[in-house]
């Protein structure tokens, strides 16, 4: 089969022909119909400092956002059969450690597997996925939209870390997950949604997703705009997807007393807060992060939202290319609205 493989440390990746994987007793063999390019995949290709420190088992097939059809199941698989359509939960919990047994399987502390990081991923014609990480989807779902489920569930989990209904929300960064967060915040009943980016076309997309106030970080002062629109109070929740230290510190100043800052973006350098005691501690801000999605609460909630018909997933399909054209996808990624979808 064709696969995009990270072969050695350092920048780059190689398109190779390799054998189709053989599923183990608890695995599904899945034919990948569509797979999406994520910022974390770019980090692997570019070999960012955070990735370089992660001790990845090279060679490794990258990719973790996908939609596919089950072709074969292991002899111990109970809940899936050939012909089922699925997406993948990126995290593979052990099911037995303290984290797994206390409602935190998504951050399993016992050598948790991660698709596209510790096991081969979805930038290939086939992927072998443990049953525990398979999420069944309706066969009628367009493949490109099915490949969006994992980042959509990430946005949902980020919002679940704060009080959103009846509140003000600021989303930093209008990439795919940022835009999804804006739309989901609207579904959850946020009263006033702010969105920040430096690309005007992304801000226009955020407005279409439900943002009442859009802020161009190159032209406007984030704190001034937010404080003016909230009568000096500040927002109740900030969802951070940029990984930019300057933006994060401005967001702290845009939060009201006892507000919540949720970190989603990748930060591969030390993070310094300005006037930490006065701005964070004395104001009792809640700083929290997310890593993936709650297993399986996030997925169940997402399915109910999808069934309601309140989301327009097609808006997040930013570009569609063949896997062979992955280098074009890398060029498109920074400015594309939504995800770059690749077809093996």
- Concatenating the DSSP letter of every residue in 195-263 gives EEES-HHHHHHHHHHT-SEEEETTTS-HHHHHHHHTTT--EEEEEE-S--HHHHHHHHHHEEEEEEEEE
| SS3 state at 29 | strand
Nearest Cα residue to 183 out of 338, 34, 297 = 338
pLDDT at 269 (0 to 100): 86
Do the Cβ atoms of 287 and 312 come closer than 8 Å? no
Q: What is the pLDDT of residue 298?
A: 97
Whether residue 137 is predicted with pLDDT greater than 90 in this model: the reply is yes
d(CA 47, CA 193): 35
CA distance 58 to 247: 34
User: Half-sphere exposure of 176 toward its Cβ, with a 13 Å CA cutoff?
Assistant: 29
Pair of tokens at residue 241: 């997807």
For residue 159, CA distances in Å to 13, 108, 164, 229 come to 34, 21, 7, 21
| Residue whose structure tokens are 């047994």 | 101
**Residue 119 pLDDT > 90:** yes
Percent of the chain exceeding pLDDT 70 equals 100
- What's the confidence (pLDDT) of residue 64? 97
Q: For the segment 157-166, what is each residue's pLDDT rounded down to a tens digit?
A: 999 999 999 9
What is the average pLDDT value for the chain, to the nearest integer? 96
The pLDDT of residue 94 is above 90: yes
H helices of the chain, where? 39-46, 49-52, 98-101, 143-146, 149-160, 176-187, 200-209, 222-229, 245-254, 276, 297-308, 326-332
For the chain, list the domains and their CATH numbers.
2-152+293-343 (3.90.180.10), 162-289 (3.40.50.720)
Q: How much is the pLDDT for 335? A: 86
Residues 267-296: tens digit of each pLDDT: 888 899 999 999 999 999 999 999 999 999
In angstroms, the Cα distances linking 155 to 50, 191, 275, 279, 332 are: 22, 18, 29, 26, 22
- Residue 186 reports pLDDT greater than 90: yes
Asked if residue 233 has pLDDT above 90, the reply is yes
The pLDDT of residue 191 is above 90: yes
**pLDDT tens-digit series, residues 40-75:** 999 999 999 989 998 999 999 999 999 999 999 999
Question: 10 Å Cβ neighbour count for 117?
Answer: 21
pLDDT at residue 273, as a whole number: 95
Locus of tokens 């919990």 = 93
pLDDT band at 209 (very low <50, low <70, confident <90, very high): very high
Question: From edge to edge, which strands make up the β-sheet containing 14-17?
Answer: 14-17, 2-6, 60-61
Q: What angle is formed at CA 38 by the lines to CA 33 and CA 42, rounded to 5 degrees?
A: 120
Per the confidence metrics, is the pTM higher than 0.85? yes
In the chain, count H helices and then E strands: 12, 18
Question: What value does the mean pLDDT take over residues 156-180?
Answer: 96
- Phi–psi pair at 230, nearest 5 degrees: -110, 15
């Amino acid at each position: 089969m064709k696969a995009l493989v990270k072969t050695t440390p350092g920048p780059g990746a190689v398109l190779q022909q390799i054998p189709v994987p053989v599923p183990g007793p608890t695995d599904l063999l899945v034919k990948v119909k569509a797979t999406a390019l994520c910022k974390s995949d770019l980090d692997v290709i570019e070999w960012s400092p955070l990735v370089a420190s992660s001790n990845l088992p090279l060679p490794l097939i990258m990719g973790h956002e996908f939609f596919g059809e089950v072709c074969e199941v292991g002899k111990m698989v109970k809940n899936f059969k050939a012909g089922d359509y699925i997406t993948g939960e990126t995290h593979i919990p052990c099911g037995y450690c303290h984290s797994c047994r206390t409602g935190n399987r998504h951050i399993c502390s016992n050598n948790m597997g991660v698709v596209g990081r510790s096991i081969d991923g979805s930038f290939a014609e086939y992927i072998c996925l443990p049953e525990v990480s398979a999420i069944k989807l309706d066969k009628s779902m367009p493949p490109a939209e099915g490949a969006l489920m994992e980042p959509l569930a990430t946005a949902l989990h980020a919002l679940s870390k704060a009080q959103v209904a009846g509140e003000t929300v600021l989303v930093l960064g209008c990439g795919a997950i940022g835009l999804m967060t804006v739309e989901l915040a609207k579904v959850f009943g946020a009263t006033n949604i702010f969105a920040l980016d430096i690309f005007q076309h992304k801000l226009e997309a955020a407005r279409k997703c439900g943002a009442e106030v859009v802020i161009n970080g190159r032209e406007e002062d984030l704190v001034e705009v937010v404080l003016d629109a909230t009568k000096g109070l500040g927002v109740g929740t900030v969802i951070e997807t940029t990984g930019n230290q300057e933006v994060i510190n401005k967001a702290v100043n845009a939060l009201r007393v006892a507000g919540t800052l949720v970190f989603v973006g990748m930060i591969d350098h030390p993070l310094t807060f300005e006037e930490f005691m006065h701005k964070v501690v004395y104001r009792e801000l809640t700083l929290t992060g997310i890593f993936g999605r709650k297993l399986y609460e996030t997925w169940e909630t997402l399915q109910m939202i999808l069934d309601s018909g309140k989301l327009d997933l097609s808006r997040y399909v930013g570009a569609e290319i063949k896997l062979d054209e992955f280098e074009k996808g890398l060029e498109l990624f920074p400015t594309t609205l939504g995800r770059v979808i690749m077809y093996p």
